[in-house]
């Protein structure tokens, strides 16, 4: 399936990834794009004037029916989520996102939607395989036996299975991406839902501006992750959606770094060196997580290519510009 000429609905279209995706689809000659989000439009992270922008609560079945009406393709990027602090402290809210996927799948089937996309997460992976910072990169089969991140990870894993069975039982073609820590411009960088790259950039900027010369780091800084730049996320998402691959697939960078190394990069970009204060009782998630890209290279002939240092520099400058505006 080529997305050009299709009638596309982006659920979560007022969010970080959804806003970027809508712009890409419009630039790629989608017939029309409808962006749907729960937040008032004034709070959307991005808004495309040429899209149909609709505020709906997709936890409700009637709202999902309204959202997908007339659509050929549905992207479900909608969920109640954020960084590790939000995920660990709001497990029930994260799990309530299962209502969104349940009602969207049902509405999409009834509306005759031709293809459905579900944004899953690396949080579905078995925690036993992520105990060491020197983690072996996670393959798609490492989600089972199931021991995902409590709350958020369970919702994502359950929703993957629901997509699978809607395709098997009802013939609704589904595509599922397991995103690994997506970052970039227009993402949250304050307020509690930001992820590590944006949070660290903000903290470095604050320290540089105030002259405080300290940065607080959650955990001991030795925990490791890979981070996926938004442009790679969008490219992988579109390639997967247009492909015949109907199994969950990693969409993530395999450039593994520690949080301390991530801080090193942000300090280098800022031209400062800061004293590190480790908050050992703060939420820090698993000790190590990385993406094995063997399957995405085999099935899509592609893998993410943006170096973390390069993507972080763009993200840092975007956040710094917004913070200068707030300060002024």
Q: How far is CA 52 from CA 26, 92, 100, in A?
A: 11, 31, 20
Question: Any idea what the Cα angle at residue 172 is, between residues 169 and 175, rounded to 5°?
Answer: 115
Q: Quick one: angle between helices 98-111 and 61-68, nearest 10?
A: 50
Q: Which residue in the block uniquely carries the two structure tokens 């590790």?
A: 84
Closest residue by Cα to residue 249 from 129, 164, 132: 164
Dihedral (C-alpha) 243, 248, 251, 253: value to the nearest 10 degrees?
-130
Query: What are the tokens at 87?
Result: 């995920």
Residue with tokens 């939000």: 86
First to last CA, the chain: 48
Catalytic residue among 125, 152, 179, 229: 152
Contact 162, 105 (CB under 8 A): yes
Burial 204-229 (b: 16+ CB within 10 A, else e): bbebbeeeeeebebbbbbebbbbbbb
Distance CA 187, CA 194 (A): 7
Residue 25, burial from CB neighbour count under 10 angstroms (0-12, 13-18, 19+): buried
Phi-psi region of 289 (alpha: psi -120 to 50; beta: other; left: phi over 0): beta
Is 152 catalytic? The answer is yes
Active-site amino acid positions = 152
């Amino acid at each position: 399936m080529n997305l050009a000429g299709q009638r596309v609905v982006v659920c979560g279209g007022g969010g970080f990834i959804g806003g970027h995706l809508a712009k890409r689809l419009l630039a790629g000659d989608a017939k029309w794009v409808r962006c749907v989000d729960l937040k008032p439009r004034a709070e959307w992270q991005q808004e495309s004037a040429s899209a149909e922008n609709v505020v709906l609560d997709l936890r409700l079945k009637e709202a999902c029916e309204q959202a997908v009406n007339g659509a050929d393709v549905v992207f479900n990027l909608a969920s109640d989520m954020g960084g590790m602090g939000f995920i660990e402290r709001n497990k029930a809210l994260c799990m309530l996102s299962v209502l969104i996927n349940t009602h969207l799948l049902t509405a999409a089937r009834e509306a005759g939607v031709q293809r459905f996309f579900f944004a899953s997460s690396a949080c579905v992976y078995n925690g036993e395989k992520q105990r060491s910072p020197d983690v072996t990169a996670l393959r798609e089969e490492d989600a089972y036996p199931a021991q995902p991140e409590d709350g958020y990870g369970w919702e994502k894993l359950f929703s993957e299975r629901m997509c699978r069975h809607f395709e098997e039982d009802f013939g609704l073609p589904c595509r599922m991406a397991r995103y690994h820590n997506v970052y970039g411009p227009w993402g949250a960088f304050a307020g509690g839902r930001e992820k590590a790259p944006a949070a660290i950039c903000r903290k470095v900027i604050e320290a540089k501006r105030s002259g405080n010369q300290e940065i607080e780091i959650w955990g001991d800084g030795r925990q490791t992750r890979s981070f996926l730049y938004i442009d790679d996320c969008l490219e992988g998402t579109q390639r997967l959606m247009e492909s015949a691959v109907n199994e969950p697939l990693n969409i993530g960078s395999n450039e593994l770094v520690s949080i301390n190394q991530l801080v090193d990069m942000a300090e280098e970009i800022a031209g400062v060196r800061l004293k590190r204060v480790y908050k050992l009782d703060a939420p820090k998630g698993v000790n190590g997580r990385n993406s094995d890209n063997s399957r995405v290279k085999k099935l899509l002939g592609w893998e993410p290519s943006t170096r973390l240092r390069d993507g972080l520099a763009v993200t840092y400058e975007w956040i710094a510009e917004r913070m200068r505006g707030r300060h002024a």
